[in-house]
Structure 1
């Protein structure tokens, strides 16, 4: 673990118990010299001052704990990123501090995904991926049991990257079915209110949507209002049921 990561962990520990959300974490890391380096649909990324680590910060990501579990439980395979820290954030956000990774050639990424699905040797690597596949399957089955709107494994080639020390690694295999979840939130928010507690989705309208967007401000506000009304109806019905 590098000095920049240790310093970041110390700063983040100072936020513990304060109800820190994604904006607080981004502010603290930027002040410590971390710099923006990318954004996706669910999260933004910052790079450490020494260039050896990345912070993935999401306002709302139900699958974050399962990605962190995969990185920890499959660390012995050398085929997942080194995870320095993982924290859940107020409002359903997620923070992962991990080693800096570079993009992998698309052909190599496709071959890795095929090998993972078939549990066969990855081209150019001596060992097989059976152990990694077993961990992936175990963690994904847990996510499917526990998470509303959990999607299938994501075989996007961009989810295979290259570690400077260990070669190809797999990232972000688990994801929430965003189109279904957000369509339900827009058309039937009472279902979302009943299945995902408000403290775990407070910032679900603040994900970047850098790939699928843009997301119009009026649409975001309409979804917030619909969910707030659904939360009020749910609270009222629960109060009525109390003895």
Structure 2
């Protein structure tokens, strides 16, 4: 792992990260709206890992904080590496997770929502970090209760992942219609690649619309 990370320069972007991990033998294993995922070449039950690489993810540091703060509960993924990437990207290396049945995931989300005893300590950590994210992050969304955000670790336990997210529809609508508002609230260095998220679940995203958004933001940045 360290030898791969040593190949990432301090100014690495999401493109650099994907290239370096791919060249090291990690293979594509999924994509969502905000990030892609690659699977490690070592696929023994206790060594398989995944890397999540996002071009733009304002909530990445909060998610990483949750994984660290709640690690002792064993109800979040084991996080090995977290690194911010140039332009607002985010990289997380974590244990390999498997999908669970939708009903099982819904029940776990319900336990979190109701702060049931089995997840009470996890819930307190989630709520504390999320409350701060709501104060600090423009366009921070509510907790994500998508069933796909509950998965199973290699030891069989259920974990909650990717609970924090930016309100994409509102943020990108603002970027298209009022780029000056987005430029004022999010520094260029933290949104440089915001039009390069995969949108694998919600896409496709029209190329002309992406380009218009990039141009609009660039014009505002040039004036600022």
8 Å CA contact retained: 1:78, 1:166: no
Query: Match of 2:6?
Result: 13
Query: Match of 1:53?
Result: 49
Q: 1:217 Cα shift?
A: 1.1
The one of 33, 58, 62 aligned to 1:62: 58
Distance 1:90 1:230 in 2: 20
The one of 206, 218, 223 aligned to 1:228: 218
Distance 1:67 1:217 in 2: 30
8 Å CA contact retained: 1:43, 1:208: yes
Distance 1:193 1:162 in 2: 39
Query: Match of 2:18?
Result: 26
Distance 1:11 1:202 in 2: 24
Q: 1:14 Cα shift?
A: 3.5
Q: Please tell me the root mean square deviation across aligned C-alpha atoms, in Å.
A: 0.9
TM norm structure 2: 0.96
Distance 1:167 1:11 in 2: 29
8 Å CA contact retained: 2:87, 2:190: yes
Q: 1:166 Cα shift?
A: 4.6
Q: 1:216 Cα shift?
A: 1.3
Number of residue pairs matched by the alignment: 220
Q: Secondary structure at the match of 1:70?
A: helix
Which structure would you say has the larger Rg? 1
Q: 1:13 Cα shift?
A: 3.0
8 Å CA contact retained: 2:7, 2:20: no
Query: Match of 2:139?
Result: 149
- Extract structure 1 runs of 4+ deviating beyond 6 A: none
8 Å CA contact retained: 1:70, 1:136: yes
1:74 is aligned to 2:66:
no
Distance 2:6 2:191 in 1: 23
Query: Match of 1:99?
Result: 95
Distance 1:68 1:151 in 2: 17
Q: 1:180 Cα shift?
A: 0.2
Q: 1:87 Cα shift?
A: 0.2
Q: Secondary structure at the match of 1:15?
A: coil
8 Å CA contact retained: 1:45, 1:54: yes
Q: Secondary structure at the match of 2:180?
A: helix
8 Å CA contact retained: 1:79, 1:166: no
Distance 1:90 1:210 in 2: 22
Query: Match of 1:237?
Result: none
The one of 119, 134, 139 aligned to 2:124: 134
